[in-house]
Amino acid sequence: MSRHLEGTFVVATHNKGKLREIEELVAPFGLHAVSAASLNLPEPVEDGDTFIANALIKARAAAFAAKLPALADDSGICVAALDGAPGIYSARWAGESKDFGHAMEKVEAGLRERDCVTPAQRKAWFISALALVWPDGHEEIVEGRVDGTLVWPPRGAAGFGYDPMFLPDGETRTFGEMTSEEKHGLPPLGKGLSHRARAFIELAERCLKR
């Protein structure tokens, strides 16, 4: 049975871009978000083999350490021509320095090695798994996906991660060229376009009250 989230909760991330997006998503619901980084919570080892598994690792660790409900996102980009890579290793492709410019170059190099030059050969999708965990062990899990095509060179300086090279299906601008409202604004003001917004819409229907 679903449970409503109220009051203060932890966003189980040390990623400032991800934290900002989640704070914007929960803003209409009157919730108070604190980050795992602000609470000095350690980052757990993400050794799951799926996005959901890794989201649960982070949410469980934060919920039990902070004694508060915790929301974690595990997300990444999957490239069809690279057999779904980088997938759950999307952040690791950026290295310890979190250099996503290098990570995007690595994706592009992989595509060129396979002579993937046409849009049909450069299909990709973003996945976001959201796990909401309470200290007593109650868990809610959702997953969202958005499909698109990879462009080169990257376009736009907005967003974070692989956003500048990802062109969502049906759009003319990359995530890196969109405002935050355009990328993940919720209906009726926005399209709920991003993978994280799509997962959040489902989570909100289950667990959040305006």
- pLDDT for 53 equals 98
Peptide bond into 188 cis (omega under 30): yes
Q: Give CA–CA dist 78/124, Å, rounded.
A: 6
Q: For residue range 159-171, list pLDDT tens digits in order.
A: 899 999 999 999 9
Enclosing domain of residue 165: 8-207
The residues near 105 (Cβ < 8 Å, ≥ 6 apart) are none
- pLDDT for 210 equals 65
Q: Among residues 187, 191, 62, which one has the least CA distance to residue 131?
A: 62
pLDDT at position 203 over 90: yes
Q: Is residue 43 part of a domain?
A: yes
Q: For residue range 172-198, list pLDDT tens digits in order.
A: 999 999 998 899 888 876 788 999 999
Q: Give CA–CA dist 206/209, Å, rounded.
A: 9
Q: Is residue 190 part of a domain?
A: yes
CA-to-CA dists, residue 35 to 22, 62, 70, 187, angstroms: 10, 9, 9, 26
- When the pLDDT of each residue in the chain is averaged and rounded to a whole number, the result is 94
Q: Which residue has the tokens 């350490």?
A: 65
CATH number of the domain encompassing residue 162: 3.90.950.10
Q: Which residue has the tokens 């949410």?
A: 59
16 pLDDT tier (thresholds 50, 70, 90): confident
pTM: 0.92
- pLDDT for 42 equals 92
Q: Is residue 3 part of a domain?
A: no
Whether residue 107 contacts residue 150, with contact meaning beta carbons closer than 8 Å, is answered with yes
Q: Is residue 1 part of a domain?
A: no
Q: For residue range 102-145, list pLDDT tens digits in order.
A: 999 999 999 999 999 999 999 999 999 999 999 999 999 999 99
Q: Give CA–CA dist 78/56, Å, rounded.
A: 20
Active-site residue flag, 115: no
Q: Is residue 132 part of a domain?
A: yes
The b/e string for 18-57 (b: 16+ C-beta within 10 A; e otherwise) is bbebbebbbeeeebebbbbeeeebeebebebeebbbbbbb
What is the number of other CB atoms lying within 10 angstroms of the CB of residue 180? 15
Q: Is residue 2 part of a domain?
A: no
Q: Among residues 10, 27, 4, 5, which one has the least CA distance to residue 184?
A: 27
Number of domains in the chain: 1
Q: Is residue 15 part of a domain?
A: yes
Q: 74, 83, 99, 115: which one is catalytic?
A: 74
Q: Is residue 17 part of a domain?
A: yes
Lowest-confidence region among 3-12, 19-28, 146-155, 168-177: 19-28
